[in-house]
A and B are shown apart, each in its own frame.
Chain A
Amino acid sequence: MTALPGKKGLLIFLLLLALVIIVSLAAYRMTGQMGIEGRFSHAVGLESGEEAGEEGGGWFGLSLEGNPVFYGIVLGALAVLCYASYRHFSVCNDPPGSAKKGSDT
């Protein structure tokens, strides 16, 4: 087993992406402009009131799914959990390649 030279790996990756883009664009032209929910309902044959797509809402076309208040609460709780894990396990003080210094679970 021989490793591909660095550029060949990137070339394979870019060719793969090009193929994906071509297939996606072709499928998009066949199905037309729809939002996620509308596209799904259309694919399985369900009636959907949301055929116009999700673009146009939110910030620069980016929109949130679900309830933004609950989203903020859950995300805040997860951020606190991350910070607690980061401090508790002393990942921040762990130099690369060294043995772990934090407590084990």
Chain B
Amino acid sequence: MAHIHLEDGSFSLFWVIVWWTAAIILVGISLYLLRSEKKTDSRKITIAAFCTAAAFAIFQVSIPVFGGVHITLTPLIGILAGPVIGSLVVLIINILSAAIGHGGWGMIGANTLVNIVEVAVAYATWRLLKPFIPDLFSRAGIATVAGLLSGNIAMILIIVISGVQGVNQGTAQILTGLSLLAAVNMGVAVIEAFVTGLIVTYIGKVRPDLLLGERP
């Protein structure tokens, strides 16, 4: 998963405001799109609630792989809820996480952006691969890896663009360090891909109408 594990004060106030503003704009667009729908499928609201609870619960658990990594379930959110509702879900998860002391308040904007990228790319991959890979497990797994890889790239870009206050390393050194970190982070993508694949396959068997684009 991709999550900026830096404390408040690591980014300058300017960049905190920039990332918060960008996140608010994206979430605002999502809200506008939701409000412009004549009828919102009630199942989407329920799925969003389940996704929020499940992702929040698992997001706080550090899994003892490669010294400790997190699962976020953001690709699953993208597959089940789509990018519009998914962007609201990840904002809520980041706010709740900060409220219990996981991540700084100033980082919520940047982390929400990173998670929105994961949700959107996973959703897009899931939909685009449908004509080629009908198998739900494989398609969900590939979408998960694509989403998490994109999230890690977004995380690196945000940190490199912002810079980190109080460090003497140059951009090239930070980029190298973050690239290695992202590569280690991707180790959990293997676990998350299997988890997401199994959940999507199960839902596809018992309630295919709950899967976006798979509804009969």
**Using a CB–CB distance below 8 Å, which chain A residues touch chain B?**
1-4, 6, 9-10, 12-13, 16-17, 20-21, 23-28, 30-31, 33-46, 53-55, 58, 60-67, 70-71, 74-75, 78-79, 81-82, 85-86, 89-91, 94, 96-98, 100, 102-105
Given contacts A43-B177, A96-B209, A105-B45, contact A74 B70 (CB under 8 A): no
| B102 touches A (CB below 8 Å) | yes
Do the beta carbons of B164 and A75 come within 8 Å of each other? no
**Using a CB–CB distance below 8 Å, which chain B residues touch chain A?**
4-6, 10, 39-43, 45-46, 49-50, 52-53, 56-57, 60-64, 66-70, 96-97, 99-102, 131-135, 137-139, 141-142, 145, 159, 164, 166-169, 173-174, 177-178, 180-181, 183-184, 186-187, 189-190, 193, 197, 206-209, 215-216
Q: Closest CB-CB distance, A48 to chain B, in whole Å?
A: 10
Other-chain residue from A2, A46, A62 in contact with B164 (beta carbon distance below 8 A): A46
Q: Closest CB-CB distance, A16 to chain B, in whole Å?
A: 6
Given contacts A10-B135, A44-B178, A102-B42, contact A71 B60 (CB under 8 A): yes
Do the beta carbons of A1 and B131 come within 8 Å of each other? yes
Do the beta carbons of B135 and A62 come within 8 Å of each other? no
Do the beta carbons of A70 and B177 come within 8 Å of each other? no
State A82–B53 Cα separation when bound (angstroms): 8
Top 7 nearest A-B pairs (CB, nearest first) are A61-B64, A27-B183, A43-B177, A24-B187, A45-B169, A66-B100, A9-B138
State A80–B62 Cα separation when bound (angstroms): 24
Other-chain residue from B61, B102, B197 in contact with A62 (beta carbon distance below 8 A): B61
